[in-house]
Amino acid sequence: MLKHRGFPGRLPGTDFQFTIRRDNKKGVTPLVHRERFADRRPADRRADAGFMKALWENFGDQPFERGNLDAGRLSWFFGREVVAAEDPFDPASYEALLKIDLRRAAAAFPEIFGTEGSA
């Protein structure tokens, strides 16, 4: 399992986890599509924005290996702002390649991608 050096382990000052320390000996937790509803708590929204900002700052528009990124946190983005970068894609692999869908990410997080106020 690739460990992304320099990637924040959690949202500073919170228990919102961004990475895992070691691989799961019982098996890799697969990525799944989780629905983000508009009535999410402000703390959850800050965690979403913090994670997307970390993804953007660390990987930009380039494909990246899932590695030690937390499956639970990544699943909130999977299939929308973060998509598979390979075909076939194995959602239960630490080596799976992902990438940021810039159009969708900029629409969901304009404060990160500098698209606030643009139409």
pLDDT of residue 117 exceeding 70, the answer is no
pLDDT of residue 78 exceeding 90, the answer is yes
22 contact partners, CB below 8 Å, separation of at least 6: 1
* Least confident range of 41-55, 87-101, 103-117: 103-117
Separation between Cα atoms, residue 90 and residue 95, nearest integer Å:
9
Separation between Cα atoms, residue 40 and residue 24, nearest integer Å:
28
Digit-coded pLDDT (tens) for 29-45: 899 999 888 888 998 99
Query: DSSP state, 52?
Result: H
pLDDT of residue 8 exceeding 60, the answer is yes
* Domain ranges, ordered by start, for the chain: 1-21+32-110
